[in-house]
Structure 1
Amino acid sequence: MGELLLPGPFDDALASILRGLSAGRMLRVVNFHATPAYRREEYRRQVAAYADRFAPVTPANFDAAFDGTWADPRPGLMPVLFEGWRDNVDVMLPILEEFGFKGWFFVPSAFPGIGAQDQRAYADAHTLRLPRRDEYPGQRVALTWDEAGDAASRGHGFACHSRSHFDLQPDTPDDVLREEIHTAAAEMRAGLGQPAEIFCWLHGAEAGVNPRADAMLKDAGFRYLFSNFKVQRLA
Structure 2
Amino acid sequence: MLELFGYSLSYFSVALLFLVAFFIGMAKTGVHNISMFAVPLLAIMFGGKSSSGLMLPMLIMADLFAVKYYHRDANWGYLLKLFPSAAVGVLVGTWLGNAVDDQVFRSAMSVIIFASLVIMLWIEKGDKAAIPDYIWFALLMGLLGGITTMIGNLAGSVMAVYLLSMRLPKNEYIGTAAWFFLAINLFKVPFHVFSWQSIDVNSFLLNLICLPFIALGAWCGIWLVKRIREKHYRWMVIGMTGVASILMLF
TM-score normalised to the size of structure 1?
A: 0.27
More helix by share: 2
Give the number of the structure with larger relative contact order, counting CA–CA contacts within 8 Å between residues 6 or more apart. 2
More strand by share: 1
TM-score normalised to the size of structure 2?
A: 0.26
